[in-house]
Structure 1
Amino acid sequence: MIDFIIKSTASLFVLLAVYHLALENEKMHHFNRFYLLFAIIFSFTIPFITIEVIQEITTPFTSKNAITMEGATMTSVEDSTNYWIIAIWSIYGVITSVLLFRFIRNILKLNAKSKSGTEINYKNVNLVLLKEKTLPYTFMNSIFINETDYHNRKIEAELYTHELIHVNQKHTLDILLLETLKAVFWFNPIFIFYKKAIQLNHEFLADEKVVQSHNNVPFYQNLLITKASANQTYYLASNLNYSVTKKRLIMMTKTTSTSRAMLKKIAIAPLFSFILFFSCTKNVEQEKTSETTIKSKTPVTGIEKYFENTIFLIKDEKGNIVSDKKFSELTSEEKKNIPPPPPPRVTSVNEQENSKQLNDLKNAVSPKYVEITTVEVPENGIHNTASVNEKPTFPGGMDKFYQFVAENFKAPSQPNLKGKVYITFIVEIDGSLNDFKILRDIGYGTGKEAVRVLESCPKWIPGKINGKAVRTLYSLPITINTEQ
């Protein structure tokens, strides 16, 4: 939520600043209206956009026999209720509810006024005649005017034209949008300035149409100044007396060339791209395994190429074939028993000759089958995880195991207790766990609790060597973190 507020507010501020500096004083009011509304939509969208920039980082090569274990983390949250958060959200909810109630009440009040007064159809809009003394103002499809002024023909044609523009261009919808945002994000003053900018732009649009239709700028300017002393009407309505300032009077006589307007519109486009890139870019580090192979100095790559099409027959100590593998599937112990390839025909310390020897090795014809004898460990022998081909694992994967431990581990009531419990156990051939040993705990019964959870654990999938299940010693760190 905080990230959303920061990113959206920063974007809103930058776009509004650019509007006041570069666009507000230019006579391209339709574009400015679109710009302000789009700025709001754009700013609310960018916190949900992420542009990932992948950066490759090189890490040392890790062999297939390397073991990486991550312990499950249990966090006790029984007494961790954050009353400050509850209080803040409660205050926010109360204030927002009051503002939304006020907003809806004013809408209903204007609707009630439109029904209470006399309605007259005028150029496809409703003229609502009111008893109260008021300047003309607009809400949705209705123009509210004083009944006496209407019958005595004291309302100038320019005023009718002005209000018709508010109706036809749906300016009320812009105001309703801003008022809704002000009620929901009442703590953010940026929307107050956006409403002022949009309302002033509405007046520019209406004034422009009046000047085009009646072609009497001095009279219209004097009319605005004359009406300026009237009381302000409803804040949801568009009305004649909004911000009768020097800006409006100057704007009526100002001109903006087509080329200047187009240049500014084009110049604005990179601004959105910059904000999007600056706010949404996230650097993602992608690990790239680095395997150092110096072909001119070592024959490793040549051996792999030489045995590329060879099938290795794995035999036990009795001479029985227990499995067959390709070179890439062999363990490091099995690779030690591979007979070396035939020596190069020429031996030379010269770099060029070494390269020729390597090519000779790559192009040599390898045997179709090679037998490798391995020494079988007795069935009751205990292996560590580095010596097995297939490591023992929990049914469904280790994530499921961590979930099982986290759900069943009862953390001590001791507050602010942090540390790790180290425990070892044997995964038997049938997958059962036994011989639990606590190497280190942090007291308060954490070690015994870890043993209790593991004793209730479902059977694992046992470790295997050459496809045969073996007893495997397994170690597990469990991180304890209780917070008051």
Structure 2
Amino acid sequence: MLHYILQTIAFQLFFLMVYDLFLKRETFFNWNRFYLLFTPIASLVLPLIKIEAFRNVLPQNYIVQLPAVILNPDASTVQTQLLPTVYLKNSSSFWSWEFILYVGIYVSAFIFIFKMFKLFKTINISEKNTASGLTIITLKNSSAAFSFFNYVFLGDAINPKNYQTILAHECVHKSQKHSADLLFFELLRILFWFNPLVYMYQNRMVTLHEYIADALVVKQQDKVTYYQNLLSQVFDVNHISFINPFFKQSLIKKRIIMLTKSKSKQIHLLKYAMLIPMVFAMLLYTSCDKEADNSESTEIQTSKDKIQEKIDKIMEENPNVKIKIIEEDSVIDDDIEVPYSVVEQVPIFPGCEDLPAAEQKGCFSGEISKFVGQNYNIDLATTLGLSGRQRINVLFKIDKSGNITGVRARAPHPKLEEEAIRVINELPKMIPGEQKGIAVTVPYSLPIVFEIKE
């Protein structure tokens, strides 16, 4: 979930930067409204879309290659010993980031409900009149002027000369359903209360709504008169984010500047075509994102398991055939690798050397599991926002000197891989395995399973 949230915020930031740099000064108000409604939705949806064809666009060296299996009686034998699975349970923290996220959602929802309650309470207790299809709510001892759907709130201290201008302005908000836009952003503010970009989106939409209403009203009135109405007085407006204020001090200057601005040339509509390559690039990124595609590692591991089954079957039917697994990036050296199942003397974990040979293997496996369980950072799952069962597959070797080498890991999240590699590299120096009195390298595979409480 954390990775999804970060992608969403990154996409919204990019969309807002494009809007501020290229679009917000244009007079294509309806196009800008579409942009401000479409892009936050696109930011939420795009990280969830995976297009297989886009993934194939990448060069082959960016694609994970399965090991090649070579059957050759003359090849030196390589076989990985599968150690017992290590199961880890995360320590549940009361103050996890998920807990804070949900608390914030509940608090934001409560604040929204409280504002709605105050608004409807005002409607119920105030004097009401009807004009131009609008319900006029008179506010006692107030100079406020704002609207919510077909409700227009006017303070009794407002100059009556401004009534018609305000009503014409608010009729535009009602007919174009501007309040629905703001409620949409209220929903985003509840779900993503921690994301400042949602608040920026809503502020830009409020400004755009005023531009749209002003542009339509001045077609029916003299511009100079309309300017004078805006500048005649600055009204106090209750701070409610989902209403359309007529007089708002921070917007008056912007509205006048936009009213005096020449109409944008039609050629500038081409700027909105930027959405196409932007969305395409984001789809390419999300489709090829390894971290977001948790199924990839599972499929690769399944394929490797099938390969191992085939290898075991071949060795049973042809005991004289030696099998070698070669990775594309492997380097052939002089070290001799002997499979765990046939090596005469297996590597020994420090402290297990005094046990009988029959018990040394069990001691080795037990100590490995104990070491990983004690040293793996089990709080990492909570930090990353993971849930359910997470499987980590680790490959490593104990070389002829007893050192841990060639550590690799595959997991649904890169941080889990990094932590697994770190822990395995910290294993103590082993007593190396021997074949015919010669120290040899022995490869191992260690599955680690995270049991994460929901």
Shared fold per TM-score greater than 0.5:
yes
Residue 423 of structure 2 corresponds to none
Matched, 1:265 2:265: no
In the alignment, structure 1 residue 62 sits paired with structure 2 residue 67: no
User: For 1:31 and 1:205, how far apart are their aligned partners in 2?
Assistant: 11
Alignment of 1:173-212 (within 5 A): 173-212=180-219
The reply on whether 1:158 has 2:165 as its aligned counterpart is: yes
Distance 1:64 1:227 in 2: 91
Match of 2:408 in 1: none
The separation in 2 between residues aligned to 1:112 and 1:384, in whole angstroms, is 77
Amino acid at match of 2:91: T
Choose 126-135 or 167-176, whichever is displaced more: 126-135
Residue 119 (structure 1) aligned with residue 128 (structure 2):
yes
The residue that corresponds to 1:240 in the other structure is 246
Q: Which residue of 66, 82, 99 maps to 2:92?
A: 82
Q: Specify every segment of 5 or more residues in structure 1 that has no aligned partner in the other structure, as ranges.
A: 288-330, 332-382, 390-421, 425-436, 448-476
1:388 aligned partner: 317
> 76, 79, 101: which is aligned to 2:110?
101
What is the TM-score when the length of structure 2 is the normalising length? 0.60
Separation of aligned partners in 2, 1:210 and 1:143: 16
> Which structure dedicates a bigger proportion of its chain to helix?
2
One-letter code of the match for 2:203?
Answer: K
1:139 aligns with 2:139: no
- Cα distance in structure 1, aligned partners of 2:447 and 2:113: 51
**Range with bigger deviation, 259-268 or 226-235:** 226-235
8 Å Cα contact 1:423/1:439 also seen in 2? no
Deviations 1:172-206 (A, max 9, x none): 12222222322332222111211111111011011
Q: Secondary structure at the match of 1:167?
A: helix
**What secondary structure does 2:247 align onto?**
coil
Q: Per the alignment, in what secondary structure is the counterpart of residue 241 of structure 1? A: coil
Amino acid at match of 1:205: I
Q: What TM-score comes out, normalization by structure 1 length?
A: 0.56
1:274 aligns with 2:286: no
Q: Does 1:218 align with 2:210?
A: no
Separation in structure 2 between the aligned mates of residue 265 and residue 481 of structure 1, nearest angstrom = 49
Structure 1 residues 478 and 264, CA, compared in 2 at 3 Å: closer, same or farther? closer
Do 1:137 and 1:233's aligned partners in 2 also have CA atoms closer than 8 Å?
no
Instruction: Report what 2:327 is aligned to.
Output: none
* Superposition deviation, residue 147 in structure 1: 4.7
Tell me the residue number matched to 2:361: 440
Closer, same or farther: CA 238–3 of 1 in aligned 2, 3 Å:
same
CA contact (8 A) 1:166 1:206 kept: yes
How many Å apart are 1:87 and its aligned residue? 3.9
Instruction: Output the amino acid matched with 1:73.
Output: T
Could you report, residue by residue, the CA deviation over 1:102-149 in whole angstroms, capped at 9, with x for unpaired residues? 111101211121222233232222222232313321012211113575
Equivalent residue letter for 1:8: T
Supply the distance in 2 between the matched residues of 1:27 and 1:39 (Cα, whole angstroms): 19
Matches of 1:162 and 1:64, distance apart in 2: 84
Q: Is the 8 A contact 2:84 2:365 kept in 1?
A: no
Report the residue type matching 1:221 in the other structure: Y
Q: Does 1:128 align with 2:137?
A: yes
Q: Does the 8 A contact of 1:67 with 1:385 survive in 2?
A: no
The yes-or-no answer on 1:8 pairing with 2:8 is yes
Q: Name the CA shift for 1:130/1:480 in 2 (closer, same or farther; >3 Å).
A: closer
Question: 2:255, 2:263 → 1: CA distance?
Answer: 15
Q: Which residue identity does 2:70 align to in structure 1?
A: T
Deviations 1:77-112 (A, max 9, x none): 2xx4132x6443333333332222111110121112
Q: Summarize the Cα distance change of 1:264–1:481 in structure 2 as closer, same or farther, 3 Å threshold.
A: closer
Q: Shift in Å at residue 21 of structure 1?
A: 0.8
Change (3 A) 1:76 1:8: closer
Question: 1:48 maps to which residue?
Answer: 48
Deviations 1:402-446 (A, max 9, x none): xxxxxxxxxxxxxxxxxxxx789xxxxxxxxxxxx6661236978
SS at match of 1:177: helix
C-alpha distance in 2 between matches for 1:176 and 1:236: 6
Comparing 31-40 and 64-73, the one that deviates more: 64-73
State whether residues 118 and 128 of structure 1, in contact with CA within 8 Å, keep that contact through their aligned partners in structure 2. yes
User: What is the SS of the residue equivalent to 1:222?
Assistant: helix
Alignment check: 8 A CA contact 2:135 2:150 kept: yes
Q: Which amino acid in structure 2 is aligned with residue 201 of structure 1?
A: L
- Which of 252, 256, 262 is the aligned partner of 1:249? 256
1:47-89 deviation per Cα after TM superposition (whole angstroms, max 9, x unaligned): 2112341447585453499987755513142xx4132x64433
Determine helix, strand or coil for the equivalent of 1:107: helix
CA RMSD of aligned residues (A): 3.8
Supply the distance in 1 between the matched residues of 2:100 and 2:67 (Cα, whole angstroms): 50
| Residues 227 and 64 of structure 1: CA distance in aligned 2, closer, same or farther (over 3 Å) | farther
Distance 2:151 2:241 in 1: 15
Distance in 2, matches of 1:128 and 1:139, equals 11
Q: Which string of whole-angstrom CA distances, capped at 9 and with x for unpartnered residues, describes residues 223-247 of structure 1?
A: 1122325455533311112333432
Cα gap change, 1:224/1:148 in structure 2, threshold over 3 Å: closer, same or farther? closer
* Residue 388 (structure 1) shift: 2.4
> Would the aligned equivalents of 1:137 and 1:143 in 2 still touch at CA under 8 Å?
yes
1:68–1:388 Cα change, 3 Å: farther
Q: Write the deviation string for residues 22-66 of structure 1: whole angstroms up to 9, x where unpaired.
A: 110000011101101101000011121123414475854534999
- Equivalenced residue count is 314
The verdict on how the C-alpha distance between 1:230 and 1:444 changes in structure 2, with shifts beyond 3 A counting, is: closer
For 1:161 and 1:20, locate their aligned partners in 2 and report how far apart those are by CA, in whole Å. 29
Distance 2:367 2:82 in 1: 18
Q: Identity, % of aligned pairs?
A: 26
Q: Is the 8 A contact 2:145 2:235 kept in 1?
A: no
- SS of the aligned residue for 2:162 comes to coil
Q: Which stretches in structure 2 are left out of the alignment for 5+ residues?
A: 291-295, 301-309, 319-339, 343-357, 369-443
Evaluate the alpha carbon distance shift between residue 100 and residue 483 of structure 1 in structure 2; reply closer, same or farther with a 3 A threshold: closer
